[in-house]
Amino acid sequence: MTEVVIWLIAFALILFFSIKQWDTSVSAGLNKMLPRIIKSGDDNRWIWSVALAILGATTLVRPVDMLLTVIVIAILALIAKKVVSWAMGRANFH
């Protein structure tokens, strides 16, 4: 129960501050990190703020789980990149 309360408080605070600081820092920071196709415009303010609040609150409450999830995603992305690279090398486009 304590974990849920801490998560909800962290979620609410991160959401509040990301909405409040959207124009000054959050939007600019996201735009530096993201590809052009998913840039954060003003119409995506709520979507990105909620996503950041969920990730931030979960990272605060369960950091080991988040770290392991990131490691698994990175390994899967590396394997997918290698398989696609191998398949493109074997493909004959003539």
Residue 80 has pLDDT above 90, yes or no: yes
C-alpha–C-alpha distance, residues 75 and 69, integer Å:
10
What is each CA distance from 65 to 14, 48, 62, in whole angstroms?
19, 22, 6
Q: Looking at per-residue confidence, does 69 or 92 come out higher? A: 69
Residues 70-76: what's their mean pLDDT?
96
Backbone angles phi, psi at 40, to 5 degrees: -95, 100
Residues 6+ apart with CB under 8 A from 58: 7, 65, 66
C-alpha–C-alpha distance, residues 2 and 57, integer Å:
13
Q: What is the pLDDT of residues 9-68, one digit of tens each?
A: 999 999 999 989 888 888 788 878 777 777 666 678 888 899 999 999 999 999 999 999
Confidence bin at 76 (pLDDT 50/70/90): very high
